[in-house]
A = this chain, B = another copy of it.
Amino acid sequence: MKVLVDLSVVPLGVGLSLSKYVAACERVLKEAGLKTALHANGTNIEGDWDEVFAAVRRCHEVLHDMGVPRVSATLRVGTRTDRVQSLEDKVRSVEEKMK
């Protein structure tokens, strides 16, 4: 089952500079071979359900290994059976309607 996920990871207990941790999570996603698109409040991910969620779990583990005692993440998760849709399709579809 294919899934599109928008993942936002918030490390707690390590102060206010979070980009180091977000970057570590990005590396995990890349190493997992997943297609991703970083934005200001998260990362869009496209891939097979099990591979995506294994990588999300790995993000939590890597952050804890870096000394983060608490990780609070939010995810938007989309699956559909009517047709295949990529991250680019979703953006393009909205942009076309805005012309």
**Chain A facing B: main interface SS:** mixed
Number of copies of this protein chain within its complex: 4
| A/B interface sample: 9 pairs, CB < 8 A | A37-B39, A39-B44, A39-B91, A56-B77, A60-B79, A73-B75, A73-B76, A73-B77, A75-B75
A49 to B18, CA, bound (A): 23
Q: Which 5 A-B pairs have the closest CB atoms?
A: A23-B97, A6-B41, A19-B93, A40-B87, A70-B80
User: Is the beta-carbon distance between A79 and B90 smaller than 8 angstroms?
Assistant: no
Among A8-64, those with CB < 8 Å from B are: 8, 10, 12-13, 15-16, 18-20, 22-23, 26-27, 37-42, 44, 49-50, 53, 56-57, 60-61, 64
